[in-house]
Structure 1
Amino acid sequence: MPLALDTAAQDLLFREAHTANAFTDEPVSDEQVRAIYDLVKYAPTAFNQSPLRIVLVRSPEARERLVGHLAEGNRAKTAAAPLTAILATDHEFHEELPRLFPAFPQAKDAFFSERPVREHAGAFNAALQIGYFIVGVRAAGLAAGPMTGFDAEGLTKEFFPDGDHQVLAVVNIGKPGPEAFHPRSPRLDYDEVVTTV
């Protein structure tokens, strides 16, 4: 068998996992989210920069602020989800580099002194972390409903008014409810994607 994960784990994380569009009202605890983060914090990022920042939306007031920035098709399911995470990149991630990448303490100034470089690097590396976050939600036995249908500028200003962050994704989290999943859409086959040189 070419994979180290057993079939059940493969199914849980990949084959049977779908983007969820409906959830039960069973709450998602802080302990569950902490366990997810403690697993996915090991996602690979360049220079271990770790630019992902997460805001957990729990209160009705925060939920209302969030929903107003979402595309119409994402509003009802987000209003009803037991937990929603706003995932953003921190453009000032380089301030943590001396601690996070002690093997090369000069990286902060050598590579990331200019804001456009940090914005590009941060968005790419936070996207890697977001992929791991979604798999981590699945590993916790929960379903994830990641979305990009929102007013990114408005949502960023609403939840990160400091100007040093950019929202990249919004993820609803919980136990899947009835009719949670659309039919599986096709994927490209190996020979359509992979070439060898």
Structure 2
Amino acid sequence: MSEPLSDSALDTIFRTARSYNGYTDRAVGEDQLHAIWELMKWGPTSANQLPARLVWCTGDDAKAKLAACVSETNRPKILSAPVSVVIAMDVEFHEHLPELFPHTNAKAWFDGNTELRAASAFRNSTLQGAYFIIAARALGLDTGPMSGFDQGAVDKAFFADQPGVRSNFIATLGYGDPASVYDRLPRPGFDRFNTIA
């Protein structure tokens, strides 16, 4: 049986976590990107689907290419972050299910059903994107997840040779600058948005 995490760990992952708009100059190494993946890949998904495809923009050229596809407000965030990440989804993820979910013919559930594949890829890549954020925070890094981009432009810029891959959302990554966050915004209590049936 699992033991609850310490309050300090829960603070890091959730309670004191923020969406950063700027970062310090401290570098993020490629080994840290690998470490994030090695954690996030274990997060549960439906039928062990792993549709997420990540592009880790670490160089100036890659960040400039991504910045050209985002809103004016998000552009400087992308350019100044140590790393900017495109969290995308592969709608042909089912081709990997014989390896990833071998105890039944799960691939057959999705063969010929593009609508089901698209919905499932979006749902499970979003889950994986959340695991990316949690893994980064657990490893001492900060993130700035964002919408505010032209999906078609991002897909053309990064996935033109992968027609089954589409962007889901973008996140910046690094060591957050406390001066770049807003005052803590409210989170409603349980009774506001929850129903126990």
TM-score by length of 1: 0.95
Aligned residues: 194
Distance 2:183 2:119 in 1: 35
Task: Specify every segment of 5 or more residues in structure 1 that has no aligned partner in the other structure, as ranges.
Answer: none
Distance 1:74 1:138 in 2: 21
Cα offsets for 1:77-126 (capped at 9, x unmatched): 1100000111000011011000000111x211233432221111100110
- Number of the residue aligned with 1:138: 137
Distance 1:41 1:110 in 2: 22
Cα offsets for 1:168-188 (capped at 9, x unmatched): 111100001251211111112
What displacement does 1:192 show? 0.7
Distance 1:32 1:172 in 2: 14
- Number of the residue aligned with 2:187: 187
Cα offsets for 1:5-34 (capped at 9, x unmatched): 111001111111100001012111111111
176-185 or 93-102, which deviates more: 176-185
**Are residues 1:8 and 2:8 paired?**
yes
RMSD over aligned CA atoms reads: 1.2
Cα offsets for 1:34-82 (capped at 9, x unmatched): 1111111111111111100000111211111110101111011110000
- Number of the residue aligned with 2:63: 63
- Number of the residue aligned with 1:128: 127
What displacement does 1:152 show? 0.8
Distance 1:113 1:51 in 2: 17
Residue 23 of structure 2 aligns to which amino acid in structure 1? Answer: F
- Number of the residue aligned with 2:100: 100
Task: Specify every segment of 5 or more residues in structure 2 that has no aligned partner in the other structure, as ranges.
Answer: none
Cα offsets for 1:122-154 (capped at 9, x unmatched): 001100111111011101111100011100111
Partner of 1:73, secondary structure, is: coil
- Number of the residue aligned with 1:117: 116
**Any runs of at least 4 consecutive aligned residues in structure 1 with deviations exceeding 3 A, and if so which?**
none
- Number of the residue aligned with 2:49: 49
Give % identity.
37
